[in-house]
Amino acid sequence: MTTSTQFVAQLQKDNEALFEASKMNVKAYFESKDNSMEALVEHFTGRMVNERMNMVEISRQVANMPADADPIELQNLSKQAMDEAIHFRMVKECIEKITGKELNVAEAMAAEAAKPTAKGADLLAAYEADSDEAALAVYQIVAEGRAAAVWSQMAETIEDSFIAKSYAKIAKDEGFHSTIGAMKLESIATTPAVQARVLDIVDGMRKDLFDVSCANTVEAAGSRELVNAAYGW
């Protein structure tokens, strides 16, 4: 039987096609847009709201953890919740740098709700991660890992040094969040049955996240072919 360590290592390797396709889409998006103030604000508002959604959902996970929860897991998830709160603030500051004025967060979030963009954080509810530790771990390792790749690509592509520096910091944090998922999966994916179930969740989530990538940016030439070849879609 494949050990849980081997299983997680292979899963991480197999995620690379999704991550690379998402980076291709982000790069194409920012290189094809005129990067007008309105376009940037609209795009970054969606990312700001997504970080806040992650903050809320991970905080709920922490609040609902049982009394006998692993203290290290509790600590790591608490750190992630704080990270997401910091990211929310950092993206808000990037928007304010673009516009030159303070952002009315309540208005921005209401506008986003009225014209919602696709958000990775929606998958937490869609896969019932609040009550399913395997789904939460998959979200961490796949969605947060993809987020690390996407924020890193934005940091490389966006010319504004303030935004680039902020987004590089966010990318680093998202990489840690993915590691939290990897650690959890190693502890629970110890049987063929659990591993099979995890792979079923992973396949669906990869598809959903590629759709999120295309909806939020553009479908770059070759990106769909990359994921289709990797995952047999």
User: What tens digit of pLDDT does each residue of 82-96 get?
Assistant: 999 999 999 999 999
Q: Which two tokens stand for residue 14?
A: 């197999």
CA separation for the pair 83, 28 (Å, rounded): 28
Q: Which tens digit of pLDDT belongs to each residue from 201-220? A: 999 999 999 999 999 999 99
Rg (CA), the chain: 18
Domains of the chain: 4-231 (1.20.910.10)
Within the chain, what is the greatest distance between any pair of CA atoms? 58
Helix (H, G, I), strand (E, B) or coil at 192: helix
Contact between residue 84 and residue 55 where contact means Cβ atoms under 8 Å apart: yes
Separation CA 169–CA 153 (nearest Å): 12
Residue with tokens 């990037």: 94
User: 181: helix, coil or strand?
Assistant: helix
- Rounded CA-CA distance 151/158 in Å is 10
Closest to 146 in 3D by CA, of 164, 163, 121, 126 = 121
- pLDDT tens for the chain, residues 1 to 233: 799 999 999 999 999 999 999 999 999 999 886 667 788 888 999 999 999 999 999 999 999 999 999 999 999 999 999 999 999 999 999 999 999 999 999 999 998 888 877 788 899 889 988 889 999 999 999 999 999 999 999 999 998 999 999 999 999 999 999 999 999 999 999 999 999 999 999 999 999 999 999 999 999 999 999 999 999 99
Tokens at residue 13, please?
Answer: 């390797």
Q: Spell out the long-range contacts of 40-43 with Cβ–Cβ below 8 A and sequence spacing 24 or more.
A: 40/95, 40/98, 41/95, 41/98, 41/99, 43/216
Other beta carbons within 10 Å of 188 = 14
3-state secondary structure (DSSP) of residue 46: helix
Computed from CA positions of residues 40, 45, 108, 98, in that sequence, does the dihedral angle turn out positive or negative? negative
**C-beta of residue 225 within 8 angstroms of C-beta of residue 231:** no
- Cβ-count burial 32-61 (b if 16+ within 10 Å, e if not): eeeeeeeebbbbbbbbbbbbbbbbebbbeb
- Give 106: exposed, middle or buried? Use CB within 10 Å, 0-12, 13-18, 19+: exposed
- Helices (DSSP H) in the chain: which residue ranges? 4-32, 37-63, 71-99, 105-114, 122-126, 133-138, 145-157, 161-188, 192-216, 223-231
115-148 per-position pLDDT tens digit? 877 788 899 889 988 889 999 999 999 999 999 9
Q: Which of 216, 222, 228, 225 is nearest to 26 (CA)?
A: 216
